[in-house]
Amino acid sequence: MDDNVTVINHPLIAHKLTLMRRKNSSTQKFRSLLREVAHLLTYEITRDLELTTETIETPLQEMDAPTLAGKKLCFVSILRAGNGLLEGMVELMPSARVGHIGMFRDPESLQAVEYYCKVPQDIEERRVIVVDPMLATGNSAIAAITHLKKQGAKNMKFLCLLAAPEGVKALREAHPDVPVFTAAIDERLDEHGYIRPGLGDAGDRMYGTK
Ligand SMILES: O=P(O)(O)OC[C@H]1O[C@H](OP(=O)(O)OP(=O)(O)O)[C@H](O)[C@@H]1O
Ligand SMILES: O=c1cc[nH]c(=O)[nH]1
Ligand SMILES: [Mg+2]
């Protein structure tokens, strides 16, 4: 894997991901774990945000204290499953702007079909983090990022929970300027485009659909 693919290694993330993979984990459990993992992934993916200082008054004295500076953020969720990650991220960074792209995979062709898009108008001035728990063939992420580039987005990262090697390769080839962050890269894609060993269909597990 190249330098622009980061596997975020952390014992808490690894443990929670294992709980999510277990087929007997309930919808409620799956959803709350995804939210917790989103907090931990956000902590890592925002490591390079620039700081400036601001003069503040503590109860005891004045000080120059660190505060976030630089480009404003925008999180873009690939619906539906992206919203599970998004919720946890927004809890940590409540002032971030949020965009949504609706995509579903055609089960036969495995091509991504777009059904919705709404992003902030000033997206070209923002650092954009595109989120979706699953990167399988890569078709959904590639289509979403292509669309966001057409809307003017220039500075993007892609964050997922679980990736297939095939999806990482395809996304890196299609959008080499977009670094990829994931909690794990599994063994392979199966003949139906599912990540193996995987965790199943993230959207269905989050929302209890089938
Ligand atoms: O890399 P790909 O092969 O494109 O697969 C990954 C996509 O598949 C899932 O979405 P799905 O189509 O199941 O829609 P959903 O989130 O509404 O369930 C997942 O949330 C990704 O968006
Ligand atoms: O394994 C997979 C592949 C695509 N989408 C999912 O939710 N899971
Ligand atoms: Mg789904």
Ligand 1 near 182 CB (within 6 A): no
pLDDT in tens, 140-152: 999 999 999 999 9
Q: What rounded mean pLDDT belongs to the chain?
A: 96
Q: How far apart are CA 115 and CA 199, in angstroms?
A: 25
Atom of ligand 1 nearest to the CA of 136: 1
Atom of ligand 2 nearest to the CA of 196: 1
pLDDT in tens, 158-196: 999 999 999 999 999 999 999 999 999 999 999 999 999
The CATH number that domain 5-207 falls under is 3.40.50.2020
CA atoms 170, 144, 7, 85: torsion sign: negative
Ligand 2 near 136 CB (within 6 A): yes
Domain boundaries, the chain: 5-207
Q: What is the mean pLDDT of residues 36-46?
A: 97
Q: How far apart are CA 111 and CA 104, in angstroms?
A: 8
Ligand 2 near 189 CB (within 6 A): no
